[in-house]
Structure 1
Amino acid sequence: MFPHLFQGLDISKFHCETCELAKHTRVSFHISSKRSSHPFHLIHSDIWGPSTIPNVSGARWFVSLIDDCTRVTWIFLLKQKSDVSIVIPNFHSMVQNQFGVKIKSFKTDNVRDSFNQILSPYFQSQGILHDSSCVNTPQQNGVAERKNGHLLNTTQVLLFQGNVPKIPSQVLDNKSPIEILKSFYPHFKTSNVLTPRVFGCTAFVHVHSQHRDKLDPQAIKCVFLGYSSTQKGYKCYNPSTRKFYISADVTFT
């Protein structure tokens, strides 16, 4: 009614309580460009699940562990969410033994039943800082949330297409996560250096003579799934018998 009374005033400094209650919105989040300067200084983690259908081993969850510096990602399947209390200490031991460093901090979502209650004593005993996001604010754990979304999308692509290329990331200056990790640890070698194969392709696993009769087939027709993390062999699956095989004696078509 009297606009001349408000000339020269900064309207942005006025706060209306009624407007706050009626028109309040969430804070916007921007993608952070900052990354740790060294591997394992910060690990992002998130638990996904439960899946409506368990896998053949009974797992319905998975936990992702992402190194902030290199973006190298480890995935562990879980039959129960509480299994994370075993996975995290084992992962930390692996990092210390293989890379000679200790994890400095963990960033997770606000899952009280898994991280806050089960793992808080472990984090405290190891001197690991634990930073969790606010309730219903997954944006604060964006690295792990985006990684899980990427993993699920990739899973769909693998199931539908049967092939996915290994493409470097622009976020990492067009280098793959393993390349970044090796720049810090030149002597680090991946556990498997077998020839890359197409996911889902037909694989014939050799049956050794001591496991078959003379007139039995000398190979089993399977589906190629990937590579063993503990043996130098291909991981294959026989849908008809629901059995897994890890073997170096495999041919592909």
Structure 2
Amino acid sequence: MKKSEMVKDLPDFEVISTDCHVCQYRKQSRLPFPTATWRATKKLQLIHTDVGSLQRTPSLKEVGSTFWKYKAKVENESGCKIQILRSDNGKEYNSHQFNSFCEEAGIEHQLTAPYTPEKNGVSERRNRFIMEMARCMLHEKNLPKEF
């Protein structure tokens, strides 16, 4: 800017180093994840799941029970079997009981890498949408979050 005379009375600064380790460390960002190369082509071929709650995190037993009911309902209605279940690495999906059920039912259980919600983006985005909508409704009716 000084060379093109856009700013007047700007003092000359001497550049000591162009490799500032602190700057490089503080300005780093996570690289984007590659776009998925495989997509489900059949009903129930791939199910995305995650737990979201306005109140408390459901127990392992509640999550398992809810999934078994969901599985029975969608398989009966569609006539298809769930083939792959993709979930985050949360404790509710990473229990011995849950993994045993998936194995017995012939479901491939895929866990995403810890602390990478981007890898389970389908359910994370849907949960976010539902939570935003629920918060708006609670706020509109002047109800507490714990309602």
TM-score by length of 2: 0.66
1: distance between equivalents of 2:33 and 2:101? Answer: 31
Residue 44 of structure 1, aligned match among 30, 42, 48: 48
Higher relative contact order (CA 8 A, sep 6+): 2
- Which whole-Å deviations, capped at 9, do the CAs of 1:40-95 have from their partners, x for residues lacking one? 111100012462xxxxxxxx34xxxxxxxxxxxxxxxx4x3431111112211112
2: distance between equivalents of 1:48 and 1:81? Answer: 13
Q: Which runs of 5+ in 2 are unaligned?
A: 1-20, 142-147
Give secondary structure in 2 for the equivalent of 1:38: coil
Give runs of aligned pairs for residues 57-206 of structure 1, distance below 5 A: 60-61=56-57, 78=58, 80-111=59-90, 113-117=91-95, 118-161=97-140
Query: Which amino acid is 1:47 matched to?
Result: V
Query: Which amino acid is 1:48 matched to?
Result: G
Residue 26 of structure 1, aligned match among 15, 27, 30: 30
% same residue: 25
Give secondary structure in 2 for the equivalent of 1:115: coil
The structure 1 segments of at least 4 consecutive aligned residues displaced by more than 3 Å after TM superposition are: 22-25, 30-35, 159-162
Q: Which runs of 5+ in 1 are unaligned?
A: 1-18, 52-59, 62-77, 163-253
Q: 1:139 to 1:121 in 2, by over 3 A?
A: same
1: distance between equivalents of 2:123 and 2:75? Answer: 22
The answer on whether the counterparts of 2:54 and 2:131 sit within 8 Å (CA) in structure 1 is no
1: distance between equivalents of 2:61 and 2:131? Answer: 22
2: distance between equivalents of 1:141 and 1:82? Answer: 22
Q: 1:133 to 1:116 in 2, by over 3 A?
A: same
TM-score by length of 1: 0.41
CA RMSD in angstroms, aligned pairs only? 2.5
1: distance between equivalents of 2:53 and 2:34? Answer: 26
Query: If each structure's strand is expressed as a fraction of its own residues, which one has the higher value?
Result: 1
Q: How many residues align?
A: 116
**Cα distance, 1:25 vs structure 2:** 4.1
**Cα distance, 1:35 vs structure 2:** 3.8
**Cα distance, 1:136 vs structure 2:** 0.9
- Which whole-Å deviations, capped at 9, do the CAs of 1:14-53 have from their partners, x for residues lacking one? xxxxx7xx736423136658642222111100012462xx
